[in-house]
């Protein structure tokens, strides 16, 4: 498919959509699907048919609209209204609303900050396109960036554009994407590879899942542009096994793109060829780490190895390999389409562009949001998130998953960017943002994450394998009221040791949740140790009650 | 070359081994197709037993120790047969904050099984996950593939009991 053909496909699709008298866009993202939107879609189609509205009403299934807390969501284009909590039994009410007053269904206010404060770049298509139809992606300027790059830009131009955009890796560490691309572009080897990291290990987040499920072609397009820029002809997408829908949709997307000549050999009639294979993970958090991921793609146990050499020099089968996160690759097409200066203009001095967060925990509007870098945590939690429900009070917000930390109230006005978050002892991470209220005990939170790191440690190096287990034991002693001040001192010592001596990021960052809670909520630890009470009333503290148990 | 070498026969005459053979062929019987092959066995037969691991080892020409090493490294692979129904309780952060440990405890109390165990009558297997990607609906569990949102412990137990005769699973 060349640019002319792409444009005529886009025009045809847009025309067809415009010709539909009344389009109902039903959110079938993971949240709404579990809330019954699949049955709702069926019910809407069925009832429309029974009412003889078949030709007039088109029901399309779209991806996550963001406000998952109020799902299932339905957008009625004809009346420009969004409805929330539309359970399958309300299908008739939706159809009634087309001709008269809406009754019995709740309108969702699209003027609320949840929607108006967002800036959707990676999620620009969510809620608009049908993921299984490539035409639907093309109608929203899909694959335009790829064809533009192939026709008008040299690989070096592409690397320069990405560098100029200021994009940094969204997989957690924030490494400058342009720099990584240029390293791989300069590296020499018999072959080169592009790998998309879709392992999304952070427990409590689903940003990458939504992108892969709702807009799979965006990932493929980003990979193809990256491959052209660095000189690769083959790529892998590594998806975790827990995401069967993402796997299915990516497979479909790959075969559709191949059929249209947008992947495969001689793309758009040029000499550039690029194929993509899917690799399915098997439930190991450490496989998100890049060297472990490479081992896993090659069919081995996913254990990390020391770096350097970095994958950019020696990755898959010893060849130069570019590894980027799903969201990083999802940002590429818009950067090419709208220009690097546009992207660089969003955000702060050192963190450009937008970031997708998954907002969960003790917060009213749980869901998926995309915000400009530099927005404050307060704006996210209280404006977009709608604050703490049930009259609760804010206690902390956790970012960065098991590698991150808990940020207390006093830093709520801090801008969200890579440097600021690091300064307060957390990290940007991949985008999990979990809000906690007064019912959460910070010792228990630290213990929760330590248990996670302990079970996910691959066991290759001793500081992490033994250190996480020891720290978990100490935290358990604190939580049961058995600990004394020496235990606390030992815990802090271990934090330091494990952080400094572990081989990979998992071990190096495992102490972070402990360090940050000790830093901001030390009094809670002291209450457990000295007074034998858990202020939040979460920990069992049974040792102090005369019952000895060993968890 | 590999195709010319004598092939080992599948452990049983079950026709479904063809699915596994196809998976291995798709990767040209290369050792790096090991994980894909194990996935296909688990999808087809529900779990990985010793004969199947031996078969993969000889077909892909990798040591049995490596197959076993990979199978045990990844949490997704099951080495024991699973019950008729499966209940996966999410223990990710969002679900933890909303009390997922109470769900686990409720299932343990009612059916007498812990994570990774199956009831003696083979009706129900209890598993845990590190986030199933529906965090906005926390706490969630996945019952026979269906995600159940905003669960209370009682609701989960009820939903499990509603699966045919799982009721008997509780002694
Ligand atoms: C323990 C551990 C787990 C990780 N998990 C992920 C993950 O799930 N997804 C991801 O994209 N990156 C993950 N990373 C980061 C990757 O190693 C790598 O830096 C990233 O994929 C690079 O892509 P980016 O530059 O686009 O961010 C993880 C790192 C560590 C140390
Ligand atoms: S730090 Fe932990 S996860 Fe990383 S290599 Fe060492 S044992 Fe494995
Ligand atoms: S899944 Fe429907 S709004 Fe997120
Ligand atoms: S934490 Fe349970 S679904 Fe994500």
Residue A544 banded pLDDT, cuts 50, 70, 90: low
Q: Does any ligand 3 atom lie closer than 6 A to the CB of residue A288? A: no
Nearest to A231 by CA among A168, A321, A143: A321
Q: Tell me, what CATH number does A91's domain have?
A: 3.40.30.10
Residue B103: pLDDT band with limits 50, 70, 90: very high
CA proximity to A515, closest of A487, A491, A539: A491
For residue A502, report the distance from its CA to the centre of ligand 2, in Å. 6
Q: A144: distance to nearest CA of chain B, Å? A: 31
Q: What is the mean pLDDT of residues B2-9?
A: 61
Do B89 and B133 reside in the same domain of the chain? yes
Average the pLDDT over B61-89 and give the result. 95
| CATH number for position A492 | 1.20.1440.230
CB distance B147–A33 less than 8 Å? yes
The answer to whether residues B54 and B102 belong to one domain is: no
Whether A221 and A299 map to the same domain: the answer is yes
Contact A204 B131 (CB under 8 A): yes
Q: Tell me how many degrees the CA angle A73-A76-A77 measures, rounded to the nearest 5.
A: 130
Would you say residue B3 lies in a domain? no
Chain B residues interacting with chain A (CB cutoff of 8 angstroms): 30-36, 38-39, 66, 69-70, 73-77, 91-98, 129-138, 140, 147-149
Element (H, E) at A198: strand A193-198
Task: Determine the angle formed by the axes of helices A155-165 and A177-186, rounding to 10 degrees.
Answer: 160
CB contact under 8 A, A280 and B75: no
- Tell me, what CATH number does A373's domain have? 3.10.20.600
Q: pLDDT tens for residues A353-372? A: 999 999 999 999 999 999 99
Contact B137 A35 (CB under 8 A): yes
DSSP string of A452-501, one letter each residue: HHHHH--SSSHHHHHHHHHHHHHHHHHHTT---HHHHHHHHHHHHHHHHH
Q: What is the pLDDT of residue A543?
A: 66
Residue A539 within a domain? no
Provide the pLDDT for residue A548: 42
Return the CATH number at B118.
Answer: 3.40.30.10
Same domain, residue pair A301 and A183? yes
Both B96 and B53 in a single domain? no
A80 and A198 assigned to the same domain: no
Answer yes or no: is B2 within a domain: no
Q: What is the reported pLDDT for B89?
A: 96
Ligand 4 centroid to residue B102 C-alpha, Å: 15
Q: Are residues A216 and A242 in the same domain?
A: yes
Q: What is the pLDDT of residues A481-529, one digit of tens each?
A: 999 999 999 999 999 999 999 999 999 999 999 999 999 999 999 999 9
pLDDT digits (tens, 9 = 90+) for A385-433: 999 999 999 999 999 999 999 999 999 999 999 999 999 999 999 999 9
What pLDDT does residue A397 have? 97
Query: Which tokens is A195 given?
Result: 């790998």
Phi first, then psi, for residue A119 (nearest 5°) are -135, 100
Give the nearest chain A residue to B77 (CA atoms). Answer: A282
Q: Quick check: is B120 in a domain? A: yes
pLDDT of the residue at B7: 66
Domain assignment of residue A135, yes or no: no
**A358 interaction partners in chain B (CB closer than 8 Å):** 135-136
Q: How many CB pairs under 8 A join A and B?
A: 130
Residue B160: inside a domain: yes
Distance from CA of B171 to the nearest CA of A (A): 26
pLDDT, chain A, mean = 95
User: What confidence tier does B107 reach under pLDDT thresholds 50, 70, 90?
Assistant: very high
Q: Tens digits of per-residue pLDDT, A414-426?
A: 999 999 999 999 9
Residues A456, A392 share a domain? no
On whether residue B4 sits in a domain, the answer given is no
B68 and B144 together in one domain: no
Same domain, A181 and A328: yes
Q: How far away, in angstroms, is A206 Cα from ligand 1 center?
A: 14
Do residue B138 and residue B113 come from a single domain? yes
* DSSP-derived pairing of the beta strands A321-325 and A193-198: parallel
Quick one: average pLDDT of A232-243? 96
Same domain, A428 and A450: no
H or E element at residue A58: strand A57-62
Last residue of a domain, one of A405, A437, A469: A437
| Contact at CB, A30 and B91, closer than 8 angstroms | no
Residue A206 counted as domain residue: yes
d(CA A533, CA A520): 18
Atom in ligand 4 nearest the alpha carbon of residue B129? 2
Structure tokens at B23: 């998976």
- Provide the pLDDT confidence category of residue B8 given band limits of 50, 70 and 90: confident
Closest Cα in chain B to A295: B32
Cα B134 to averaged position of ligand 3 atoms, centre (Å): 10
d(Cα A106, Cα A70) in Å, to the nearest integer?
10
CB contact under 8 A, B135 and A204: yes
Contact yes or no for A243 and B69 at CB 8 A: no
Domains held by chain A: number: 4
Question: Given an 8 Å threshold on Cβ–Cβ distance, is B77 in contact with A282?
Answer: yes
Number of H helices, E strands in chain A: 24, 14
Q: Are residues B160 and B118 in the same domain?
A: yes
In a shared domain, residues B91 and B41: no
Q: Could you tell me the pTM of the whole model? A: 0.95
Query: Taking CB atoms and a 6 Å cutoff, what residues make up the pocket around ligand 4?
Result: A 203-204; B 90, 92-95, 131-135, 138, 140
Within this chain, do residues B99 and B28 fall inside the same structural domain, yes or no?
no
pLDDT at B171 over 80: no
Tokens standing for B47? 């779990």
- Nearest CA to A285 out of A29, A510, A514 is that of A510
Range of the structural domain that residue A482 is part of: 443-531
Residue B113's pLDDT is what? Answer: 95
Indicate if A413 and A460 belong to the same structural domain: no
**Hey, of B97, B115, B145, which one would you mutate to test binding to chain A, going by the most A CBs within 10 A of its CB?**
B97
Q: Which two tokens stand for residue A339?
A: 């220009």
* Band (B166; pLDDT cuts 50, 70, 90): very low
Last residue of a domain, one of A388, A406, A437: A437
The protein residue whose alpha carbon is closest to atom 3 in ligand 3 is: A68
Higher pLDDT, B4 or A251: A251
User: Contact at 8 Å (CB) between A411 and A377?
Assistant: yes
Residue A226 has phi, psi (to 5 degrees) of: -60, -40
Helices A216-230 and A207-214, packing angle to 10 deg: 90
Probe target for ligand 1 pocket from A162, A171, A241, A296, with the most ligand atoms within 8 Å of CB: A171
Same domain, A189 and A241: yes
Residue A405 in domain: yes
Q: What is the mean pLDDT of residues B116-124?
A: 93
B130: chain A residues, CB-CB within 8 Å: 201, 203, 283, 285, 452, 456
Residue A404 shares a structural domain with residue A449: no
- B109 and B166 fall within a common domain: yes
**Residue A456 CA to ligand 2 centre (angstroms):** 9
* Residue range B81-89: mean pLDDT, rounded: 94
Would you say the CB of residue A67 lies under 6 angstroms from ligand 3?
Answer: yes
Residue among B30, B76, B134 minimizing CB distance to A283:
B76
Domain match, B37 and B98 both: no
Please tell me which residue, A550 or B37, carries the higher pLDDT value: B37
Counts for chain B of helices (H) and strands (E), in that order:
7, 4
Looking at A351-399, which runs of residues are DSSP E strands?
Answer: 354-361, 367-372, 394-399
Nearest by CB to residue B130, choosing from A30, A360, A452, is A452
- What pLDDT is stored for residue A551 in this prediction? 40
Nearest chain A Cα to B26, which residue? A277
Partners of A367 on chain B (C-beta within 8 Å) are 136
Share of chain A above pLDDT 90, in %: 91
Whose tokens are 């209370």? That residue is B152
- Residue range of the domain that includes B122: 85-170
| B91 CA closest ligand 4 atom index | 2
Q: For the purposes of burial, counting CB atoms within 10 Å of the CB of A91, is it exposed (0-12), middle (13-18) or buried (19 or more)?
A: buried
Give residue A309's pLDDT: 96
Same domain for A303 and A185? yes
Decide if B123 contacts B166 (C-beta within 8 A): yes
Q: Which of A291, A293, A463, A504 to mutate to test the pocket of ligand 2 (most atoms within 8 A of CB)?
A: A504
The pLDDT value recorded for residue B33 is 94
Is residue A145 located within the same domain as residue A282? yes
- Kindly give, in sequence order, each residue whose CB lies less than 8 Å from that of residue A109, ignoring residues fewer than 6 positions away: none
Mean pLDDT of A2-26: 93
Q: Which residues line ligand 2 (CB under 6 A)?
A: A 286, 304, 457-461, 464-465, 502-504, 506-507
Q: How many domains would you assign to chain B? A: 2
Determine, yes or no, domain membership for B121: yes
Instruction: Answer yes or no: do B69 and B90 share one domain.
Output: no
Q: What is the DSSP string of A220-259?
A: HHHHHHHHHHHT-SEEEEEE-TT-HHHHHHHHHHHHHHHH
What is the average per-residue pLDDT within A19-36? 90
**β-sheet bridge partners, residue A434:** A360, A398
pLDDT bucket at A295, cuts 50 / 70 / 90: very high
User: Tokens for A11?
Assistant: 């025009």
Is B140 a member of any domain? yes
Question: pLDDT grade, residue A550 (50/70/90)?
Answer: very low
Confidence of residue A153 (pLDDT cuts 50, 70, 90): very high
| pLDDT exceeds cutoff 90 at B132 | no
C-alpha to C-alpha distances, A489 to A82, A336, A465, A492, B2, nearest whole angstrom: 55, 52, 20, 5, 59
Per-residue pLDDT, A423: 95
ipTM of this predicted complex? 0.90
Most A CBs within 10 Å, among B71, B74, B130, to test the A interface: B130
The ligand whose atoms approach the alpha carbon of B148 most closely is 4
Domain membership flag for residue B7: no
Is beta strand A57-62 parallel, antiparallel or unpaired with respect to A22-27?
A: parallel
Task: Please check whether residue A6 is in contact with residue A57, taking contact to mean a CB–CB distance below 8 angstroms.
Answer: no
What average pLDDT score do residues A70-97 get?
A: 94
Q: Looking at the structure, tell me whether residues B166 and B104 fall in a common domain.
A: yes
């Amino acid at each position: 498919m060349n640019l002319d053909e792409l444009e005529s496909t886009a025009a045809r699709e847009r025309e067809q959509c415009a010709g539909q008298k009344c389009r109902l866009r039903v959110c079938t993202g993971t949240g709404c699907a579990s809330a019954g939107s699949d049955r709702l879609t069926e019910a809407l189609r069925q009832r429309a048919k029974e009412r003889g509205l078949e030709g007039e009403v088109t029901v399309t299934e779209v991806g996550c609209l963001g406000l998952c807390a109020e799902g299932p969501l339905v957008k009625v284009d004809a009346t420009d209204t969004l409805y929330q909590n539309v359970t399958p039994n309300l299908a008739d009410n939706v159809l009634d609303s087309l001709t008269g007053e809406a009754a019995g269904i709740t309108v969702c206010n699209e003027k609320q900050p949840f929607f108006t404060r967002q800036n959707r770049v990676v999620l620009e298509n969510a809620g608009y396109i049908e993921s299984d139809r490539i035409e639907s992606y093309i109608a929203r300027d899909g694959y335009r960036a790829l064809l533009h790059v192939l026709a008008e830009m040299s690989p070096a131009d592409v690397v320069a554009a990405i560098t100029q955009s200021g994009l940094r890796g969204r997989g957690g560490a924030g490494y400058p994407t342009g720099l990584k691309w240029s390293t791989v572009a300069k590296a020499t080897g018999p072959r080169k590879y592009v790998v998309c990291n879709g392992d999304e290990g952070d427990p409590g987040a689903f940003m990458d899942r939504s992108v892969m499920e709702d807009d799979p072609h965006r990932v493929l397009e980003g990979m193809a542009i990256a491959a052209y820029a660095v000189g690769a002809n083959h790529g892998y997408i590594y998806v975790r096994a827990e995401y069967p829908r993402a796997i299915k949709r990516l497979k479909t997307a790959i075969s559709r793109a191949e059929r249209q000549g947008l992947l495969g050999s001689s793309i758009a009639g040029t000499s550039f060829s690029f194929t993509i294979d899917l690799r399915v993970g098997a439930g190991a958090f450490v496989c998100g780490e890049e060297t472990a991921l490479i081992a896993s793609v090659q069919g081995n146990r996913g254990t990390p190895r020391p770096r350097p050499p970095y994958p950019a020099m020696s990755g898959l089968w010893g060849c130069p390999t570019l590894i980027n996160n799903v969201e990083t690759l999802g940002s590429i097409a818009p950067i090419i389409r709208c220009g690097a200066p546009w992207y660089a203009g969003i955000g702060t001095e050192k963190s450009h562009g937008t970031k997708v967060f998954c907002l969960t925990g003790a917060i009213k509007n749980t869901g998926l949001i995309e915000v400009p870098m530099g927005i404050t945590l307060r704006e996210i939690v209280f404006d977009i998130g709608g604050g703490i429900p049930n009259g609760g009070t804010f206690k902390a917000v956790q970012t960065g998953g098991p590698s991150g930390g808990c940020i207390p109230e006093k830093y709520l006005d801090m801008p969200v960017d890579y440097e600021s978050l690091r300064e307060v002892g957390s990290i940007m991470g991949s985008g999990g943002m979990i809000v906690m209220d007064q019912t959460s005990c910070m010792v228990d939170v630290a213990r929760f994450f330590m248990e996670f790191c302990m079970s996910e440690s691959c066991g290759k190096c001793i500081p992490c394998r033994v250190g996480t287990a020891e720290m978990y034991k100490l935290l358990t002693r604190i939580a049961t009221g058995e600990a004394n001040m020496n235990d606390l001192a030992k815990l802090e010592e271990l934090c330091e040791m494990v952080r400094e001596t572990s081989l990979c990021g998992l071990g190096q960052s495992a102490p972070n949740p402990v360090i940050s809670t000790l830093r901001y909520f030390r009094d809670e630890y002291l209450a457990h140790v000295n007074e034998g009470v858990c202020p939040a009333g979460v920990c069992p503290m049974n040792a102090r009650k005369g019952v000895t148990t060993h968890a | 070359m590999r195709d010319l070498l004598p092939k080992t026969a599948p452990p049983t005459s079950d026709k479904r081994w063809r699915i596994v053979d196809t998976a291995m062929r798709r990767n040209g019987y290369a050792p790096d197709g090991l994980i894909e092959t194990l996935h296909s066995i688990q999808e087809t037969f529900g779990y990985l037993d010793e004969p199947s691991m031996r078969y993969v080892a000889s077909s892909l020409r990798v040591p049995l120790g490596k197959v076993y090493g990979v199978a045990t490294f990844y949490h997704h692979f099951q080495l024991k047969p699973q019950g008729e129904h499966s209940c996966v309780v999410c223990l990710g952060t969002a679900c933890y904050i909303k009390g997922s440990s109470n769900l686990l405890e409720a299932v343990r109390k009612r059916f007498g099984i812990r994570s990774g165990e199956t009831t003696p009558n083979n009706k129900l297997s209890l598993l845990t996950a590190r986030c199933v990607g529906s965090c906005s609906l926390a706490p969630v569990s996945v019952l026979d593939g269906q995600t159940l949102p905003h669960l209370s412990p009682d609701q989960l137990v009820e939903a499990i009991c509603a699966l045919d005769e799982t009721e008997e699973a509780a002694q």
